[in-house]
Amino acid sequence: FTLHTKLKEEIQIAMLRSSFRSLRTSSTSLHASQRLRMMSTTAVIEFTPFKGYKLDDIPDNKIEVTKDECMKYFREMSLYRRFEIMADTLYKQRLIRGFCHLYDGQEAIITGMDAAVEHSDSLITSYRCHAHQISRGDTPANVYAELLGRQTGCSKGKGGSMHMYRSKSNFFGGNGIVGAQVPLGAGLGFSHKYKEDGGIAISMYGDGAANQGQVFEAANMAALWKLPVAFVCENNQYGMGTSVERHAFNSDFYTRGHYIPGIWIDGMDVLAVKKGFEYIKKYCNEGEGRPIFVECQTYRYHGHSMSDPGISYRTREEVQSVRKGRDCIENMRNLIIDQEWAEPDELKAIEKEIRKEIDAAVKEAKAATELSGDKLTEDIYKGEYPPFIRMIDEKTSIQY
């Protein structure tokens, strides 16, 4: 196995940037003025430049951030990472059943996006949706409850991993069919335009779904009707077990809107994602409204799902090279330490606190009540039930 070309180049560039930053800030010969700047609670940080398609201008690759912001992003990404690691454990213990797709490695996207948009903006995504549910205000305990089939989950334990939902925060799932959420996202954009509420819709999908016909049908309608919707491809380099270079003739997914402009973002850098989505929010709302294609280049550490070991089509060395050179949490850790905003032990203390929080969430979810069998058919029919509901066999079918 060899790293496919684009991914290898991105890793090399990221490692060089990280090495340069460490050398620059660890020098003992820094001038007093430089050290004073480093001890400030704000800093201007450079990141991998954006790439634009049919855009008159794109943002520069600098962002001013504060210590508090970076500490918040570090904690959020670490929480999502720990949540998914524990979900892996629960699945292997057979406490989580069915499909389960983990988000570890991709945390910078949801964290940076959430920092840039409002919860009045609509969000819809695929089946890799645990972190999205938490970002929109649900608790880790409730998300675990849904995974474990408990009635305190967002879908009363009937939806499971792929069907998170939180309409009061304008999060519309969690969708199990590949690419099916994309036209729904266009519909959410139509809703914002119809209501004239100033919101945008964010319709997220993976690189594996990028070749779906419904993506282009939705894009056509969004362009015709000038809908404020961002079609966001989370390019984690593999459509299930097939690399982007093997499944996509054009793997520059931000250009795939053809007549719709696009922007490429380093999805492994939370600060790049934040600034990118600030631009996207403004862009979609300008004039009558307009759509945009977005590619967030990222990487998943687990396989496609829990049934995929993730190393039959890529090597362990490839995964480790990304962890070493591009990991979003480690890069934020290094930035915080380089800016002298926290000591390594302080960040480790935060991670220990998160471990306790996640352990408590699992305990709470396990203690929650499972949905009883007679509740399985609730929420399917509105009003009166039909006289007969077929279940898996004649004995378990229900007559009213």
Three-state secondary structure call for residue 383: coil
Can you give the pLDDT at residue 60? 97
pLDDT at position 10, please?
Answer: 65
pLDDT at 331: 96
- pLDDT at position 382, please? 80
**Residue 197 confidence (pLDDT):** 95
Residues 6+ apart with CB under 8 A from 228: 189, 192, 193, 199, 200, 201, 284, 285, 289, 290, 291
Q: What does the pLDDT look like over 220-233, one tens digit per residue?
A: 999 999 999 999 99
Supply angle C-alpha 34, 39, 45, rounded to 5: 75
**pTM of the entire predicted model:** 0.88
Per-residue pLDDT, 168:
95
pLDDT at residue 9, rounded to an integer: 66
**Tell me, what's the pLDDT at 33?**
40
For residue range 289-328, list pLDDT tens digits in order: 999 999 999 999 998 999 888 988 999 999 999 999 999 9
User: Residue 34: its pLDDT value, please?
Assistant: 44
Under 8 Å between Cβ of 150 and 364: no
Q: Tell me the angle at which helices 67-92 and 107-116 cross, rounded to the nearest 10 degrees.
A: 140
Please tell me the predicted confidence (pLDDT) of residue 275.
98
Q: Which residues of the chain fall below pLDDT 50? A: 1-2, 20-38
